[in-house]
């Protein structure tokens, strides 16, 4: 039997959803399948998302931007949206039992110097980590 699948959705699937996917995958290990996708994929993972995740020991450099349609035939147990646009266009997936929306600022819109932009990415990463690590702890506790 396959572990339950959790799909994290965002509009562009370039920043927030990959931050959340990396953090949740690290927290849940092999107990769950974790993926991310977008309603309008940007076609890349933002380099600052990769860099700020490396800073906390999580490698997302092999991630790629995907469309949510790639998962329509998969049995997705839980869908989590991390931006308002994805929440509004989110379809129902086969086998879906849970749906959550936790919105976060889009760090891709950060302006200023490179360091100022990285600070926005770090802030959003840390906000996502707080929420998704708490969610993971609850899911793992329910397995006991």
Q: Take residue 56 and report the two structure tokens written for it.
A: 């906390």
39-98 pLDDT, tens digit per residue, is 999 999 999 999 999 999 999 999 999 999 999 888 899 999 998 776 666 677 777 789
**Quick check: 127 pLDDT over 80?**
yes
Residue 143: predicted pLDDT: 83
Out of 34, 76, 90, 108, the active site residue is 90
Annotated catalytic residue 15: no
Average pLDDT score over the chain: 92
Contact criterion met (CB below 8 Å) for 87 and 101: yes
Cα separation values, 79 from 7, 48, 51, 75, Å: 5, 25, 26, 11
Residue 86: predicted pLDDT: 63
SS3 132: helix
Query: How many domains are there within the chain?
Result: 1
CA distance linking residue 119 with residue 51, whole number of Å: 12
Annotated catalytic residue 83: yes
Residue 97: predicted pLDDT: 85
Contact criterion met (CB below 8 Å) for 41 and 66: yes
**Quick check: 112 pLDDT over 70?**
yes
Annotated catalytic residue 10: yes
Residue 87: predicted pLDDT: 62
Q: What is the CATH number of the domain that holds 102?
A: 3.40.50.2300
Out of 19, 45, 79, 83, the active site residue is 83
**Owning domain of residue 21:** 5-143
Q: Take residue 50 and report the two structure tokens written for it.
A: 């990769």
């Amino acid at each position: 039997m396959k572990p339950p699948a959790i799909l994290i959705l965002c509009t562009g699937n370039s920043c927030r959803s990959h931050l959340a996917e990396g953090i949740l995958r690290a927290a849940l290990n092999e107990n769950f399948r974790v993926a991310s996708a977008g309603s309008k994929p940007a076609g890349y993972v933002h380099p600052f998302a990769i860099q700020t995740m490396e800073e906390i020991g999580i490698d997302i450099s092999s991630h790629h931007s995907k469309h949510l349609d790639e998962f329509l035939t998969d049995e997705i147990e839980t869908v989590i949206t991390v931006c308002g646009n994805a929440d509004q266009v989110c379809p129902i997936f086969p086998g879906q039992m849970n749906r959550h929306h936790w919105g976060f600022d889009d760090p891709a819109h950060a302006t200023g110097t490179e360091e100022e932009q990285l600070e926005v990415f770090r802030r959003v990463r840390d906000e996502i980590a707080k929420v998704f690590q708490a969610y993971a702890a609850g899911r793992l506790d329910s397995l006991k």
